[in-house]
Amino acid sequence: MPDSAHSALSGSSSADAAAAGEPRVRWLFLDLNSYFASVEQEMRPELRGRPVAVVPVMADTTCAIAASYEAKAFGVKTGTQVAEARRLCPGIQFVEARHGIYVDYHNRIVEAVQQCVPVSAVLSIDEMASSLIGREQPLRAALSLAKRIKQVLREQVGETLRCSIGLAPNRYLAKIASDMEKPDGLVALTPDLLPAALEHLSLRDLPGVGARMEKRLHMAGIRTMEQLLRLDREQMNHAWGSIQGEKLWHWLRGEDFQDAALEHQKSISQSHVLPPALRTPEGCYAVAHKLLHKAAMRLRAARLWTTSISVSVKFVVPKEEAHRLHYSGIPQEGWSQGMSVVECQDSQTLVEALCKLWERCPKDARHRKPFYVGVGLGNLVPDHLHTLDLFGNLEGESRRTRLTTAMDSLNHKYGLTTLMPASMLLARAAAPTRIAFTNIPDLFE
């Protein structure tokens, strides 16, 4: 064997031996910092270093959907109303959201990350995760990979874009790690640091723990992470009220616990604040049809089936009679109804259900000014668990499936409104694509 080859082999063996003694991580989680605001600062250099808030429309009645770190330093955050943002930060610059640009940058970011490591899952417009394998897993190699990703993003996508990266034995802990240091952070939660590295967190720092779950945990006597970490699997299951508790128990201990049967999406929803021209019962109904059209396309694209549909409407009422204020400041009264449907994914069945629900919507003088409508599909079932209706018709279901598949194909290629129900015509230009943090709307551009 030539000396050069022997040296290379020896070096490789030494590196492998060193890596064998290192802590290992299996997941890399990337979270783009203040994404919408950062993209605006990248495209408009005059905004760099200045407090910026991205708003859905240029109006005093709306709120920020994103804020730059310069704005966050003054207390402005997602959900802060425009008037309050001005009070907190007099020099703040408001920018109207440009969703098409954010999707374009998202795609460029995914492409840049893919040059360093395959992206296993895109979780939202500003979050993605990669499963690490082989020589990527030792801690030093994973840290080097994370730094390379940061550099590639700056060089190929935008010098003002920053991301926080978390490394951990499972995706859940990697997400937690990515939130620990912002902006531009890099944190590794290796097995040897657990559970001590989690004890200083609050319950709300855990992904999936919102106000309702926090209240549920408090009622169970759990108020700190230390108390939560002391629970055994059975106690965690009881506290959560579902199998999610057991999964969390495994995740917090560094196990990469997976259960494919439980990983599918549980609900799909679409909602829209109506433009003034459509704040009538007829306009609201037309927009509800369009939202259902979008939700049904998403359902089929995800190869899911639904067994329930719900509709929510919010009406403008006099301020003194309002149950609460909408985040935009509009005094509101809400109405919602739901119903079960035969396990389905075709638009015809869902539209028929929507019609029945709409008949129940209040139509008195107090409820003549709707300003918001939302539709939801719940109790979702993955394709491989779908069962035919015992009283249904196999041929009929097959025919509806072929029809909706053909419509989806044309709408995907030529635009959402290429083929649509006639009842949607009034809302043709309404309910445009919006970017939810958990949905990149590639189907509905």
Cα radius of gyration rounded to whole Å, the chain: 25
d(C-alpha 338, C-alpha 83), whole Å: 36
What would the two tokens of residue 400 be?
A: 């509806």
d(C-alpha 154, C-alpha 369), whole Å: 48
From 263, 336, 271, 264, select the one nearest 306 (Cα to Cα). Answer: 264
Helix (H) / strand (E) containing 95: strand 93-96
Give the residue ranges of DSSP H helices in 157-224: 171-179, 211-219
Q: How crowded is residue 396: how many other Cβ atoms within 10 Å of its Cβ?
A: 11
d(C-alpha 290, C-alpha 293), whole Å: 5
User: Is the alpha carbon torsion for 89, 95, 99, 102 positive or negative?
Assistant: negative
Q: What is the DSSP letter of 415?
A: -
What would the two tokens of residue 104 be?
A: 């374009």
Q: Does residue 56 have a cis peptide bond before it, meaning omega lies within 30 degrees of 0?
A: no
What would the two tokens of residue 137 be?
A: 């897993």
Q: What is the DSSP letter of 204?
A: G
The torsion angles phi and psi of 111, rounded to 5 degrees, stand at -65, -40
136 catalytic per annotation: no
d(C-alpha 135, C-alpha 331), whole Å: 57
From 122, 420, 406, 408, select the one nearest 291 (Cα to Cα). Answer: 420
Length of the chain: 445
d(C-alpha 41, C-alpha 123), whole Å: 24
Angle at which helix 347-359 crosses helix 394-414, to 10 degrees, equals 90
CB 317 within 8 A of CB 340: no
d(C-alpha 413, C-alpha 407), whole Å: 10
Active-site position among 127, 136, 343, 397 = 127
Residues classed as catalytic: 127
